[in-house]
Amino acid sequence: MRITKWIVGAFLFSGVLMAQSADGKQPKLKSQKEQDAVMAIFNAADPAGRITAVDALLGKFADSEYKGTALFIATAAAEEMNNWEKTVIYGDRTLEADPKNYGAMLILARGYATHTREFDFDKEEKLAKADKYAKGALELLKNAPKIRPDIQDEQWEAQRKTWISEAHEAMGLAASVRKKYDDSVAEYKLGLEATPGNQNLMTRIATAYLDAKKYDESIAAANQVLALSGLNPQVKSIAENIKARAVAGKATK
């Protein structure tokens, strides 16, 4: 979950930043200098600049009520920079400051699932974290308040379902690393229930079937992707590759 334009815009409300948190409490600024430090985070030109601004805020205002929000933004920025080590550091700090920050949980869930390999000595420990954070986010998202009060109900529900889908995708990825492909498909399908037509998830389903050597199912899933209107060219290429590999695999059985 990289910070999209919509999410960045949603952070800004009455000159202050909002977090992806189920806490629901509106933090308060204690001085003009603190407000300036908070706004420097939002106004930063790039992810590295946002992290620098977060560190500056917390260096000057360690007890800021925006600590959780700021650390979450740093977590998302570190993910955007593909810096997994920093993502974990800031993600853990976010949850220490704000245990209900489902945004940080989703980032960590996805990160642990995608950065864990089959032969890692601590594979199960890391995958357990992926599942824990994804499940934690799902629980919080059940009744999470809007991150901004003026967001329309339909817009909020669509975004909430997107995050629910991301949680199931993370658990599906973790299951794939465990080679539990049936579990992986089940999670991806739950994600699809929340976001019908999700090209990424549909492709992941086709891949999971391929990895499980269920070639007919993989071909059918790939065909579903290829039949979508407005298909992303990159996704189309991936789906075609999956289908070709499944056809080849079927021929050798």
Q: For position 18, which CATH number holds?
A: 1.25.40.10
Judged against a pLDDT cut of 50, whether residue 117 lies above it is answered with yes
Cα 231 from Cα 249, distance rounded (Å): 25
For the ranges 20-29, 87-96, 101-110, 116-125, the lowest mean pLDDT is seen at: 20-29
Number of structural domains, the chain? 2
The structure tokens 């019908």 sit at: 196
* Mean pLDDT of the 194-209 span: 97
Beta-strand runs (E) in the chain? 12-13, 16-17
Whether 133 and 209 share a structural domain: no
Sequence-ordered list of residues with C-beta below 8 angstroms from that of 210, at least 6 positions apart, any chain: 218, 242, 245, 246, 249
Structural domain boundaries enclosing 125: 5-196
The answer to whether the CB of 106 falls within 8 A of the CB of 164 is no
The answer to whether the CB of 173 falls within 8 A of the CB of 132 is no
Whether 190 and 205 share a structural domain: no
- pLDDT for the residue 2: 36
Whether 56 and 141 share a structural domain: yes
Cα 180 from Cα 5, distance rounded (Å): 35
Whether 166 and 241 share a structural domain: no
Judged against a pLDDT cut of 70, whether residue 196 lies above it is answered with yes
How does residue 3 score in pLDDT terms, banded at 50, 70 and 90?
Answer: very low
- pLDDT for the residue 149: 79
The structure tokens 């300036």 sit at: 36
pLDDT tens per residue, range 124-157: 999 999 999 999 999 999 999 888 778 889 999 9
Q: Would you give the distance in Å from CA 44 to the centre of its chain?
A: 22
Judged against a pLDDT cut of 80, whether residue 9 lies above it is answered with no
Residue 56: CB atoms within 10 Å: 14
Whether 165 and 41 share a structural domain: yes
Which whole-number Å values give the CA distances from 217 to 130, 182, 213, 227, 250, in the listed order?
Answer: 27, 12, 9, 15, 11
Judged against a pLDDT cut of 70, whether residue 14 lies above it is answered with no
Whether 172 and 143 share a structural domain: yes
Domain boundary among 159, 179, 196: 196
Rounded to two decimals, the pTM is: 0.91
Whether 13 and 79 share a structural domain: yes
Average of per-residue pLDDT values in the chain:
91
Whether 245 and 163 share a structural domain: no
Whether 186 and 221 share a structural domain: no
- pLDDT for the residue 16: 38
How does residue 18 score in pLDDT terms, banded at 50, 70 and 90?
Answer: low
Whether 166 and 186 share a structural domain: yes
Cα 214 from Cα 139, distance rounded (Å): 32
pLDDT tens per residue, range 30-62: 999 999 999 999 889 999 999 999 999 999 999
